[in-house]
Amino acid sequence: MNVNWVGNRCILCLETKPLSKEHIIPASIGGVLTSKFVCGECNSHLGSEVEARIRSDPAIRLATSHLREAIPSLALKLQERQPFIVRGGTGKEPAFVKNGEVRIRTRRANDGSLIQPSDDARITIAKILEKCGSSAVDIQDALFKLDHSEPNSRIEIHPALDAIRWVPNGAEPDLSNSESANPLVPLKIAFEFLALHLGRAIYEDVHHYEGIRAALRDGEVLAKSFKIERLQAVAYKPFHGLCFEGNSPHTTIQIRLFGKLAFRVHFLRIATKRPRYIYTHDLGTGRELWED
């Protein structure tokens, strides 16, 4: 869904420049609600400085894992190139996702043996045996022995080479070195959703909005400009949602990501009498609703 914008200035830097399409909820986690209200420079800044790590955030990765059957296409997209741990008969191995497939990372074990994905291992075995002077028939015989060997058992596939056909039996996200998303992501989402409610009024009362803009532009968090409250729903569900909750006494926006991850952003210096809107995006069907 694209919401037509009524102004000609960027809502972030306030300069009159060509405006570009901005995803209110980041496209990298499936967001599709857009509006052309930020300039290209600010759009690039938000993508590289504010939203950059959100796909790798541990909470987002766990949500993706829980919902992979409900949102298979999006789950595959979010898992691409992400680190995993694969379990097998001989222990655990680091892995990553490539083209939707979980692949073990190539590494040298403590005993000097080489651990590789099966297709890479076959190429390596062929090269080793070729260097040893083995014939093409001997190489094919060694690969046949490997392919038909007992899983997770060491066997001699050639007088010069032993191998183990390691068969995984499960995979899970590796969150050990995951970086959390920029804590300003909820502020960015909420400010842009608020702009859709206010229209041109987002350019007015600059002083009230300056603390928000300074945080998003420069990472400078000013006291008494905003507060981000982290919440959590009971269960993961395949939807993103945004809600303008009104004033109590200041304006608040609630954000729901994957149903369970939730934030309430308090704009401490702002109050508006605009209508209360709710936006939801069903990640399974793609259906969007904008209602009051």
pLDDT tens-digit readout, 124-142:
999 999 998 999 999 999 9
Bridge-based pairing of strands 251-257 and 261-267 is antiparallel
pLDDT tens-digit readout, 217-232:
888 776 678 999 999 8
State pTM to two decimals.
0.86
Going by pLDDT thresholds of 50, 70 and 90, the confidence category of residue 147 is very high
Q: Is 164 left (phi over 0), alpha (psi -120 to 50) or beta?
A: beta
Strand partners, 86: 93, 171
Is 99 in contact with 266 (CB distance < 8 Å)? no
Give the CA radius of gyration of the chain. 26
First to last CA, the chain: 16
Helix (H, G, I), strand (E, B) or coil at 55: helix
- Long-range contacts formed by 31-36: CB under 8 A, 24+ apart: 31/240, 31/281, 32/1, 32/281, 32/286, 32/288, 33/1, 33/3, 33/242, 33/279, 33/281, 33/288, 34/1, 34/2, 34/3, 35/2, 35/3, 35/4, 35/5, 35/192, 35/195, 35/196, 36/2, 36/5
**Mean pLDDT across the stretch 166-185?**
86
Least confident piece of the model among 3-12, 38-47, 169-178: 169-178
Going by pLDDT thresholds of 50, 70 and 90, the confidence category of residue 40 is very high
For 20, the token pair is 């570009």
Over 80: is that where the pLDDT of 287 sits? Answer: yes
- Where do the H-state alpha helices sit in the chain? 40-45, 58-66, 72-79, 118-131, 136-147, 185-198, 206-218
Q: Return the number of other C-beta atoms located less than 10 Å from residue 112's C-beta.
A: 6
What whole-number distance in Å separates Cα of residue 221 and Cα of residue 211? 7
pLDDT given at position 223: 63
Going by pLDDT thresholds of 50, 70 and 90, the confidence category of residue 201 is confident
Is 64 in contact with 57 (CB distance < 8 Å)? no
Q: State the residue for tokens 């959590």.
A: 232
For 267, the token pair is 């704009």
Farthest-apart Cα atoms in the chain, separation: 82
For 139, the token pair is 């190489």
What whole-number distance in Å separates Cα of residue 38 and Cα of residue 23? 10
Cα three-residue angle 47-190-202, rounded to 5 degrees: 95
pLDDT tens-digit readout, 88-98:
766 888 898 88
Q: Amino acid identity, residue 85?
A: I
